[in-house]
Chain A
């Protein structure tokens, strides 16, 4: 068990910077998830912790030791791989005990620990099987057993569930959480699936283009994203964005205006481009919005496509009559579309004219130029109540 610290870690390949000046501090026993789109540098960052990749610049600490130049085997880390990477020429017992056999443990101790590890991941009675004879889920459990059997200080998991089918993935997700609770080991987990990141981790580190965007607990990333990238990446379906201009009375976008006092925003002045972000569940039909403490002026819209998901219905709204929904554009970024999530019992049909309102306390404002968050939650000063204090992004 140990904390992990990255200091200004940069990894450059010939003409690509995979990791760009990443610094982060992971507490002892913490479950931190690196999340980001493909090629964002999350796996490379993990490899620098594992020692499989040497950073071009910067230092890596595990516990109190600088391990930047140490070989992977001397770092006290264990890793679970996306492609599972069991040794196909060894049976399960030999796979799990591989690391122990390389160190000076006597046979009885090895056997005891292998059995204990197999017990934790529920592999009893399969120790003499070959990896090729097992299902994907079983193989991944062997991979996890191989990692926990050495009692590593830090557990690294590189998309361990990516190759499993959807049902097994959800099951293994809970298994991993249980495992983390039992072992209390520091876990660094890499995934591109933000559902995994949201559900399992103590903190999420969002990376994009090699840079760390935000490291915060999942709900903070969800509710108070530091910039446009995090806002768009965390949450499924993604947040709606509407680009506009800051004016004296608030925000003017192409299809609707939001009134607020521009003095609330720091770092931007009237005339600057700002982007409004609103999550689908914070867009409401006007007729159902009476319970909202603060709502925006109604916005005319036409429903386009409905996506009933069972527990909720996603409604694609067209804000501009002129332009019908184009399939090319992502609804989240298209200026004329708005995605709304409603309960399944809501009476709504496709191609219906509706009035929608936005929950003012859930509106996010971003500086369009820099992408940085300006404000999370618009509340009128007069109406501001204790407990609903909007949070400044830069805190």
Chain B
């Protein structure tokens, strides 16, 4: 090993070399095993002072990130966000481009529409009564949400606030049923809904539920109920017993306490369950597609409307795209509004205890 205190020519020479040459020098040294030890010391000495100079931009960034992990988290956050936004929003952008491109020119759309035809957004309502399909979807989704919230609240109250025998098995049963594939229910349900019941005749005319909102509301409420029950159970269980006791002593029944105190205080949970159910029903494909004959007057939902632009001999892609965008807008608005509600509920819901 060469002592540092007795510099050789080579050391002196190295010292004279401009800083950006060191990289090159080290590379060449690698090919000279005999002098490696000597240079090893040399490089070791330099490393302290010139490490920053030695590194490429990525290495520099990495060393900064190690010293300051916030940077790494921030960049990870941005990467994930950009990825997420690209993968979710780009299809919508593409949909918009397809909608704006006039009929028959749908090939070769690259980022910009081939032409400009905003009239497609009006045409969708002219070709089919698309508003009627949307109305049907709204009615079905709203009815399902109301049913899910009311029944889910009662179940959530029982599961969250009462102690009774068989509570856990019952809850597990609800959970297990929610794992069944909806298709498993289809054949029996379709059979059932096509069976004529005398009691239903005054309501549906022919006594069957097929081609009525009931044929979608009933199975969809049942399918999305377990999730709502779980969300509501968690929220209702957190309301202090004292508040319910106070309400009951003040003059409500248990049910009154649920609606006057527990539900208002669980507003964020109820909003979450409601929004999730509404969106799930609104977006649902399987039962929506099969439980009606596809006619708007027979309560066919949005989905049938969008598929309605697909004829036997031609597919009106630009109208399908336009109607898809129109169909998404109400849900997007709902999510934005509900999100505000949920956040405000979370910050305002300060419970003592």
A residues adjacent to B (C-beta < 8 A): 50-52, 71-73, 77-79, 81-89, 98-99, 102-103, 131-132, 139, 146, 150, 156
CA distance A100 to B248 in the complex (A): 13
Instruction: Name 26 interchain pairs, CB-CB below 8 A, sorted by A.
Output: A52-B245, A52-B248, A52-B249, A71-B248, A71-B253, A72-B245, A72-B248, A72-B249, A73-B248, A73-B251, A78-B250, A81-B245, A81-B246, A85-B242, A85-B243, A85-B245, A87-B246, A87-B247, A87-B265, A88-B265, A88-B349, A88-B351, A88-B352, A89-B265, A102-B256, A139-B352
* B245:A146 contact, CB within 8 angstroms: no
Cα–Cα distance between A39 and B242 once the two chains are bound (Å) = 18
A99 and B243 within 8 A (CB): no
Q: Are B240 and A85 in contact (CB under 8 A)?
A: yes
Q: Annotate B240-283 by CB proximity to A: 1 below 8 A, 0 otherwise.
A: 10110111111111001000010011000000000000000000
Q: Which residue, of A78, A98, A131, A132, has the highest number of chain B Cβ atoms within 10 A?
A: A98
A146–B243 Cα distance when bound, in Å, is: 13
Complex: how many Å from CA A52 to CA B244? 10
Task: Quote the shortest CB–CB distance from A48 to chain B (angstroms).
Answer: 13
Q: For A73, give its contact among B243, B250, B349, B353 (CB under 8 Å).
A: B250
- B199 within 8 Å of A by Cβ? no
Q: Smallest CB-CB separation from B248: which chain A residue?
A: A72
In the complex, whether B350 has a CB less than 8 A from a CB of chain A is yes
Q: How would residues 163 to 179 of chain B score, 1 for a CB under 8 Å from any chain A CB and 0 otherwise?
A: 00000000000000000
- Tell me the bound Cα distance from A124 to B253 in angstroms: 31
Which residues does B use to contact A, with CB under 8 Å?
240, 242-243, 245-253, 256, 261, 264-265, 349-353
Are B250 and A146 neighbours in the complex by a CB distance under 8 Å?
A: yes
Q: How far is the CB of A248 from chain B (nearest CB, A)?
A: 58
> Which B residue sits closest to A77, measured CB to CB?
B249
Nearest Cβ on chain A to B127's Cβ, whole angstroms: 49
The answer to whether A131 and B248 have CB atoms under 8 Å apart is no
Q: Check B265–A98 contact: CB distance below 8 A.
A: no
What is the bound-complex CA distance between A11 and B97, given in angstroms? 72
How far is B249's CA from A77's CA once the two chains are assembled, in angstroms?
A: 7
Q: Measured between alpha carbons, how far is A131 from B156 in the docked complex, in Å? A: 27
Chain A min CB distance to B235 (Å): 14
Docked CA distance A156–B314 (Å) = 77
A88 in complex: contacting residue of B245, B251, B253, B350, CB < 8 Å: B350
Which residues of B sit under 8 angstroms from A103, Cβ to Cβ?
251
Residue B246 contacts which of A51, A79, A89, A132 (CB distance < 8 angstroms)? A79
Given A82-B242, A87-B261, check contact A102 B250 (CB 8 Å).
yes
Residues of B close to A83: CB separation below 8 A: 240, 242, 352-353
Most A C-beta atoms less than 10 A away, residue of B245, B253, B265, B350: B245
Determine how close the nearest CB of chain B comes to the CB of A150; give it in whole angstroms: 8
Contact with B249, one of A79, A82, A132 (Cβ below 8 angstroms)? A79
Q: Which of A51, A72, A156 has the most CB of B within 10 A?
A: A72
A-B pairs with lowest CB-CB distance, top 4: A85-B242, A99-B250, A102-B251, A85-B246
Complex interface: chain B residues within 8 A of A77 (CB): 249
Residues in B neighbouring A82, C-beta threshold 8 A: 242
A150 to chain B: which residues have CB within 8 Å?
Answer: 250-251
- Looking at B245, B250, B264, the one whose CB has the most chain A CB atoms below 10 A away is B250
